[in-house]
Structure 1
């Protein structure tokens, strides 16, 4: 399974374009600009699609022409820019598209689908399991919401080759009973949000460094993460320390910061 990170930033990106904090200025000096978090899997499955994402794909030398399936975690604007459905419809022969997500997110898409557009909406909720193309997709709960509990989800995706990933953004800390759904998963890669750095007081619906570290420890205890698992922090915001400091703190827990345009190759054969 090939996962291309089309963006690894929080809703406002990193750096925040209106900010002069040390973290933002450091990112500018490095030329490391993170856009809205999304991933392209095997050129056919797109996970989240904020309004910046189609342009990001082009800037990273990727096309979305082969995407037949879109997984949406929730309807916040950095995760769902439904206007992409309109621009896609302008391409002759674009082919069918399956859009999977919470019912509330799919409602946002409806006005952007023209009569006769080959777009199929598939509502899901936490606890569902379905086949999406050649992928086995389990829908997990998120400690996050747009308006109502349950209108945001996470995804556990297994590819045709057996590679398995956890896409876990946006979410706050998990209750203990949620780990039963991922027990023994031994993910090849975990893409876990780490939005708040040391400012966890801002929100209960996102992870900062302490909560990120706690969640990784719990995933290890549940057997969802092991020494083979690649742990990639995404949805990174400017409340984090400058990147050198962040790298050290994530590294203490076997994790690292993702970067825009990065290609993560998940090879289940490496476990054998």
Structure 2
């Protein structure tokens, strides 16, 4: 399984374009601009699609022409830019696109799809398990909501070759009982949000460094994360410390920050990472 991180930033990216905090200025100086978090799997499965994502795919040398399945976690605007469906409809001869997500997110999409567009909507809820092309997808709950409880989900995705990854953004800390759903999963990679850094007082619907660490420890305790799992922090926001201070704090939890444009390849030999090109400040 090849996972391209099309973005690794929070809703406002990192740096926030309106901010002069030390964290934003450091990222700007280094030329590391993170866009809205999303991933492209094997060039055919797209996980979340905020309005920045189609352009990000092109900037990272990828095309979305082969995407046949779109998994939507929830309808917040950084995770769902339904106008992409209209852009897709302007291309002749496209294959059917399967759009999977909570019913509320699908309702946001429907006005952007014409009656003849080859788009099929598949509503899901936490606890469902469905086949999405050649992928086995388990739908997990999220401590997050748009308007109602249950209208945000996470995804546990197993590929045709048995590689298994967890896509866990957006969410606050899980209740203890939720971890049973991923017991002994032995994920090859976990992409877990870490939005708030040291400002967990801002929201209980996201993870900061403290909650991130507790979730990882709980995942380890049930065998969902083990020594071979690549634990990648995504949905990173500017309430985090500058990168040189963030790196050691994530390492304490056996994790690392994702980077826009990086490729994570998971296979029998374990995850490997192809870093994006180095940007010059």
TM over 0.5: yes
Quote the Cα distance in structure 2 between the aligned partners of 1:270 and 1:13: 30
| Cα contact 2:188–2:270 (8 A) shared by 1 | no
Aligned-pair distance for 1:268? Answer: 3.4
Partner of 2:39: 39
1:209-248: CA deviation from partner (whole Å, max 9, x where unpaired):
0000000000000100000000000000000000010001
| Secondary structure of the structure 2 residue equivalent to 1:268 | coil
Partner of 1:202: 202
Higher mean alpha-carbon deviation, 212-221 vs 262-271, is at: 262-271
Quote the Cα distance in structure 1 between the aligned partners of 2:33 and 2:185: 32
Partner of 2:255: 255
| Secondary structure of the structure 2 residue equivalent to 1:201 | coil
| Cα contact 1:67–1:97 (8 A) shared by 2 | yes
Q: Does 1:65 align with 2:65?
A: yes
Aligned-pair distance for 1:252? Answer: 1.0
| Cα contact 1:8–1:34 (8 A) shared by 2 | yes
Aligned-pair distance for 1:6? Answer: 0.1
Q: Which runs of 5+ in 1 are unaligned?
A: none
| Cα contact 1:74–1:101 (8 A) shared by 2 | yes
Runs of 4+ displaced beyond 2 Å: 268-271
Partner of 1:162: 162
Q: Which runs of 5+ in 2 are unaligned?
A: 272-281
Partner of 2:243: 243
1:50-74: CA deviation from partner (whole Å, max 9, x where unpaired):
0000000000000000000000000
Quote the Cα distance in structure 1 between the aligned partners of 2:140 and 2:56: 27
1:63-105: CA deviation from partner (whole Å, max 9, x where unpaired):
0000000000000000000000000000011110000000000
Partner of 1:145: 145
| Cα contact 1:193–1:235 (8 A) shared by 2 | yes
| Secondary structure of the structure 2 residue equivalent to 1:157 | strand
| Cα contact 2:164–2:189 (8 A) shared by 1 | yes
1:24-73: CA deviation from partner (whole Å, max 9, x where unpaired):
00000110000000000000000000000000000000000000000000
| Secondary structure of the structure 2 residue equivalent to 1:75 | coil
Quote the Cα distance in structure 2 between the aligned partners of 1:115 and 1:133: 23
Partner of 1:229: 229
Partner of 2:114: 114
Q: Alpha carbon RMSD of aligned pairs, Å?
A: 0.8
Partner of 1:187: 187
Quote the Cα distance in structure 2 between the aligned partners of 1:268 and 1:168: 23
| Secondary structure of the structure 1 residue equivalent to 2:201 | helix
Quote the Cα distance in structure 2 between the aligned partners of 1:139 and 1:268: 24
Q: What TM-score results when the alignment is normalised by the length of structure 2?
A: 0.96
Quote the Cα distance in structure 2 between the aligned partners of 1:215 and 1:123: 27
| Cα contact 1:141–1:154 (8 A) shared by 2 | yes
Quote the Cα distance in structure 1 between the aligned partners of 2:15 and 2:107: 31
| Cα contact 1:188–1:268 (8 A) shared by 2 | no
Q: Which residues in structure 2 correspond to 1:11-30 (within 5 Å)? A: 11-30=11-30
Q: Does 1:135 align with 2:122?
A: no
Partner of 2:276: none
